[in-house]
Amino acid sequence: MDETRLVEDYHTETASKRHIPDHLVIWDETLRDGEQMPGVHFSPEEKFRIAELMSEIGVGVINAGIPVVSESEAEAVERIAHAGFSAKILAAARTVPKDVDAVIRSGATHIAIFVAASNVHLKHKLKMTQEQVEATSIACVRQAKDAGLHVAFVTEDTVRAPFDFVERLYRAVQDAGADRLVVADTVGVMTPLTFGWYLDEFTRRVHPKDLSVHCHNDFGMAAANTITAVEHGCRAPHVCVNGIGERAGNASFEEVVMGLEMLYGVSTGIRPDRLYELSRLVEELSGVPVPANKAIVGYNAFSHEAGIHTHGILAHTLTYEPIQPHVVGRQRRMILGKHTGKAALVEKLKERGVVATEADLNELLRRVKTEIEHRSKESLRGFVHQHRSRFEQPGLSDEDFWAMVGSMGLRPAGLSRTS
């Protein structure tokens, strides 16, 4: 057998159907959409640390936040914007002049101006007509362009909005000067096939100068949809480290990057060997544990316990590892547990030069499995309980909220503050 071709690669068969841009820009949303995950709050210093590492590993655009939100947010954006990072620093704004002014004051060179587009958002949230949305959007794009900013225009819920309105709105803002157009699957309802069709139709109708996408993970397809978007001409895919974000989160930074790098052979400009470092930093500062089985950065992503798998890995790592651990800053782990086989024990004994007979191996294997089966699970159950309670009530508790209300002397309607 030809050792240079141990596995077949069918991705090459579909290469001619792709329209991947020559140069991709990874646009990270961790400090904005990622921070909007319930229970997550980054201090200005923490935002700076994350942005610094992102810039070091090659992120092209960093959304530092929405400066109009608070003084602390404005401070964080301004500090990052003036740090001299190689990444382009972007800040976000609604289609409201004061929001755009706050971005201009922050010193960010890039702005993302966003507004809702679907009928349900316009009717029940914004309470605006399509004409009003178009007018305010054009005005804010011009305001930002007059200030010399690179402008990305985003609509929330793009893919559930009437296509005629989407076409009209995006054409109008691009004519007004928008540099980049962002299509958003805000509630994660797209599938790869449908999203590919949608983006082709969007491109045919709107002719975007620069296409970007923002995908959510409500149905678990954010990363797949984002990679599909790149196949259909998206140059600036949005991602969040560890996939954090609103509700079920956003397209996972590490999954999108490694999918493009390893499966498509596309350069993202990101240093894969530092992905785990970035993941651990965001996990620590966000307080959101990475699932053990999370692709690329999960603690078990390169761990092997089952005897069949361990035996295969020891024979050739390609048997059960599509990515070599060191490529993404990881190390392989052989776990001794219920499913362990003798091959793993032999490899483990080699660490100290121990040689065991077949009988010794059988006895050692029996003891390992017996020990695992008798170990208490209480500590693990305690961790799970603590983890659940952290996210079942991630913000201010009801008890603390009502105590705060009472301390202000607020009472139910009909009762005076002194009654």
33 with 114, same domain?
yes
pLDDT in tens, 177-227: 999 999 999 999 999 999 999 999 999 999 999 999 999 999 999 999 999
- Structure tokens belonging to residue 370: 């017996």
Domains contained in the chain, number: 3
Amino acid at residue number 303 = S
CA atoms within 13 A on the CB side of 208: 28
- Within this chain, do residues 115 and 79 fall inside the same structural domain, yes or no? yes
Residues 238 and 335 placed together within one structural domain of the fold: no
Residues 385 and 367 in one domain: no
Q: Dihedral angle at the C-alpha atoms of 262, 224, 221, 53, nearest 10 degrees?
A: 50
Q: Answer yes or no: is 298 within a domain.
A: no
76 or 417, which is more confident: 76
Q: Name the pTM for this structure.
A: 0.88
Q: Residues near 379 by Cβ (< 8 Å), separated by ≥ 6?
A: none
Q: CA-CA distance, 178 to 172, in Å (whole number)?
A: 9
Give 307's contacts (C-beta < 8 A, 6+ positions apart).
Answer: 339, 340, 341, 342, 343, 344
The first and second tokens of residue 116, run together, are: 């809702």
Same domain, 321 and 179: no
Identify the CA nearest to 261 among candidates 230, 284, 234, 288.
Answer: 230
In a domain, 76, yes or no: yes
Model confidence at 81, pLDDT cuts 50, 70, 90, reads very high
pLDDT at residue 309, as a whole number: 75
- List for the chain the helix, strand, coil content (%; round to 5): 50, 10, 40
127-140: average pLDDT: 98
**Residues 248 and 233 occupy one common structural domain:** yes
Asked if residue 244 lies in contact with residue 282, where contact means CB atoms within 8 angstroms, the answer is yes
pLDDT at 112 over 90: yes
Nearest partner of 111 among 173, 167, 48, 39, judged by Cα: 173
**pLDDT for 416:** 58
Q: Which pLDDT band holds residue 152 (cuts at 50, 70, 90)?
A: very high
pLDDT over 60 (residue 39): yes
* CATH number of residue 241's parent domain: 3.20.20.70
User: Is residue 7 one of the residues assigned to a domain?
Assistant: no
Q: Mean pLDDT score of the chain, rounded to an integer?
A: 92
Residues 243, 342 share a domain: no
Instruction: Judge residue 18's burial from the number of C-beta atoms within 10 Å of its C-beta, 0-12 exposed, 13-18 middle, 19 or more buried.
Output: middle
List the domain range (segments joined by +) for residue 109: 19-286
Host H or E run for residue 183 = strand 180-185
Q: Tens digit of pLDDT for each residue in 303-335?
A: 887 777 777 877 888 888 999 999 999 998 877
Asked if pLDDT for residue 163 goes beyond 90, the answer is: yes
Q: What is the mean pLDDT of residues 394-400?
A: 77
Cα 147 from Cα 126, distance rounded (Å): 26
Whether residues 370 and 382 share a domain: the answer is: no
Query: Same domain, yes or no, for 231 and 311?
Result: no
Whether residues 131 and 252 share a domain: the answer is yes
Tell me the sheet residues that pair with 211. 181
CA distance 53 to 271: 11
Given the DSSP bridges, would you call strands 303-304 and 61-63 parallel, antiparallel or unpaired?
A: unpaired
pLDDT of residue 2: 56
Which contiguous run of DSSP H or E holds residue 343? helix 342-350
Q: Under a CB-based contact definition with an 8 Å cutoff, are residues 145 and 151 in contact?
A: yes
